[in-house]
Structure formats: C-alpha cells, structure tokens
C-alpha cells in the first residue's frame, strides 16, 4: 500500500510538473502572440505617403523575421506533451492537445494576416512606383521643352529658319504625342488617393498639367513665328529675284 501510495504521489508530481511547464509555455506564447497582433494592427493601415508605406513595409518584414522561431516553440510544446502523454489522464491530455491545436491555428492565422498586409503594402508601393516613374518622365519632357523654348532666337538665313521651324514642330509634336500620358498620370494619382488617401498627388497633377498646357501654347506660338519667318524670307527672295529679272 505504501509503495502504491508513493507511486501515485510520484505520478501526481510528474503530472503537475508537466501541467506547470505547459501552463508557463502556453501563457508565454499567448502573451507573445498578442504582442504580435498589436504590432500588426499598427502597420495594417494602408494610408500614407510612399515613405510612410515603405517604413510600414520594413516593420512588417521585421515582424515576419521575428516569428520564424515561433513554430519551433510550438513544436517544443507539442513534443513536451506527447513525450508525457503516457502519464497524463486522458481528459487532461485531450484538453492540452486542443490548446496546442488552437495555438497552431492562431499562428497560421497570424502568418496569413501578415502576408495579406504585406501584399497590400506591396501593391500600394507599386502604385507609388508607377506614379513616380510617370512624374519623372513627364517632368523631364517639360524641362527639355522649356529649355528648347528658352533657346529660341531669331535666325538670319533661310536654312537656319527652316531648321528652327523643324525643331519646334518636333517639340510640339512630342508634346502632343505625350498628351495622353498626362491623363494617365491623373488616373494614377486618383488610384493613389483612393488606395492611400494621398491628396497631395492631385494638386501636383493639376500643376504639371497646367505647365504642359502652358508649354504647348508657347510651342504653338514659336512654331507660328518660325512659319511666318520662313514664309517672309521666301517672299523676300521671290521679290528680290523678280526685281533682278526686271
């Protein structure tokens, strides 16, 4: 009887040790998981500028790296229970197994939520990239156009006047060829406003479109002047030729 009592006591102590270890690991995992969810919630907001979204993306990557050891921790908890399953009463073993299953499910749920947020951030950063590339391309076009228009000077020879006319006709044609790109930029800005709430893009697009229209009108005026100069020069040559023939 004494030996039996000792065995029962020893077995009870072992069960308590297993339960205490599980409780500590379980509690630590739940606390850790809650902290991760709190962090994820902070960075799940898709509103903001490119730099703000890039910063959130970096934080999400940090969280992603930080959870790599979590699956190993869960495996250790599972192994601990399985290794002591023989000494645990069936109802307790079943209850602990359910808790472990829930922890794995919560871990997978968190990983999926993190990947979705990461994808959403990637999508919005891609919108920003496309918008910025369009802005850079169109600003370069306008800068080149404005530099060309600024360099306009009156020419002396007919050949120089004809070259100037061809040059500014090309400038005007290039502007017209890219007119649809300014409309596309407006669409990209609207997408950013809708996806990221960044209203500053709308103001910038209005400014750059106004600048385009101003450059286009200036180019038309220069082409008109060049055409007039070429025509006047040809008319002068014709009259001069006629005078000499007389």
The beta-strand segments (E) located in 50-189 are none
For 133, residues 6+ apart whose C-beta sits below 8 A from its C-beta are none
Contact, 73 vs 106, CB < 8 A? no
Query: What's the confidence (pLDDT) of residue 1?
Result: 47
Question: What is the rounded distance in angstroms from the CA atom of residue 69 to the CA atom of residue 104?
Answer: 13
Please name the residue that has the structure tokens 């479109």.
209
Across residues 135-159, what is the average pLDDT?
Answer: 93
* CA angle at 127 for the pair 207 and 197, rounded to the nearest 5°: 65
Q: Which residue has the higher pLDDT, 133 or 86?
A: 133
Q: How many other C-beta atoms can be found within 10 angstroms of the C-beta atom of residue 59?
A: 15
Question: What is the rounded distance in angstroms from the CA atom of residue 62 to the CA atom of residue 126?
Answer: 20
pLDDT in tens, 38-82: 999 988 888 888 999 999 999 999 999 989 888 888 898 888 888
Question: What is the rounded distance in angstroms from the CA atom of residue 229 to the CA atom of residue 148?
Answer: 18
pLDDT in tens, 148-201: 999 989 889 999 999 999 999 999 999 999 999 999 999 999 999 988 888 888
For 148, residues 6+ apart whose C-beta sits below 8 A from its C-beta are 167, 168, 171
Phi and psi, residue 48, nearest 5°: 140, 170
Query: What's the confidence (pLDDT) of residue 18?
Result: 78
pLDDT in tens, 90-130: 888 888 889 989 999 999 999 999 999 999 999 999 999 99
Query: What's the confidence (pLDDT) of residue 10?
Result: 58
Query: What's the confidence (pLDDT) of residue 7?
Result: 52
Query: What's the confidence (pLDDT) of residue 165?
Result: 95
Query: What's the confidence (pLDDT) of residue 11?
Result: 63
Query: What's the confidence (pLDDT) of residue 245?
Result: 64
Query: What's the confidence (pLDDT) of residue 48?
Result: 87
Question: Would you say the C-alpha torsion 84, 82, 112, 49 has a positive or negative sign?
Answer: positive
Query: What's the confidence (pLDDT) of residue 68?
Result: 86
Question: What is the rounded distance in angstroms from the CA atom of residue 158 to the CA atom of residue 166?
Answer: 12
For 31, residues 6+ apart whose C-beta sits below 8 A from its C-beta are none
pLDDT in tens, 207-244: 999 999 999 999 999 999 999 999 999 998 888 777 86
Please name the residue that has the structure tokens 């004494």.
2
Question: What is the rounded distance in angstroms from the CA atom of residue 109 to the CA atom of residue 222?
Answer: 64
Query: What's the confidence (pLDDT) of residue 2?
Result: 47
């Amino acid at each position: 009887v004494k030996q039996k009592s000792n065995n029962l006591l020893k077995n009870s102590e072992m069960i308590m040790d297993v339960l205490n270890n599980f409780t500590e690991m379980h509690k630590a995992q739940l606390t850790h998981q809650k902290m991760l969810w709190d962090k994820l919630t902070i960075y799940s907001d898709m509103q903001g500028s490119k730099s703000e979204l890039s910063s959130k993306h970096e934080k999400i990557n940090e969280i992603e790296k930080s959870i790599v050891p979590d699956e190993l921790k869960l495996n250790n908890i599972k192994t601990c229970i399985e290794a002591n399953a023989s000494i645990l009463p069936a109802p307790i073993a079943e209850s602990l197994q359910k808790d472990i299953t829930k922890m794995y499910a919560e871990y997978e749920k968190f990983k999926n939520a993190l990947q979705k947020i990461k994808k959403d951030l990637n999508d919005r950063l891609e919108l920003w990239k496309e918008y910025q590339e369009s802005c850079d391309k169109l600003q370069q076009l306008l800068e080149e156009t404005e530099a060309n228009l600024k360099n306009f000077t009156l020419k002396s020879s007919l050949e120089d006047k004809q070259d100037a006319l061809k040059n500014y006709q090309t400038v005007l044609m290039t502007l017209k060829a890219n007119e649809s790109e300014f409309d596309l930029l407006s669409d990209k800005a609207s997408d950013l406003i809708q996806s990221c709430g960044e209203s500053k893009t709308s103001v910038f697009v209005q400014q750059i479109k106004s600048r385009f229209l101003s450059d286009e009108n200036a180019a038309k005026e220069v082409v008109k002047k060049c055409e007039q100069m070429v025509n006047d020069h040809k008319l002068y040559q014709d009259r001069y030729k006629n005078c000499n023939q007389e």
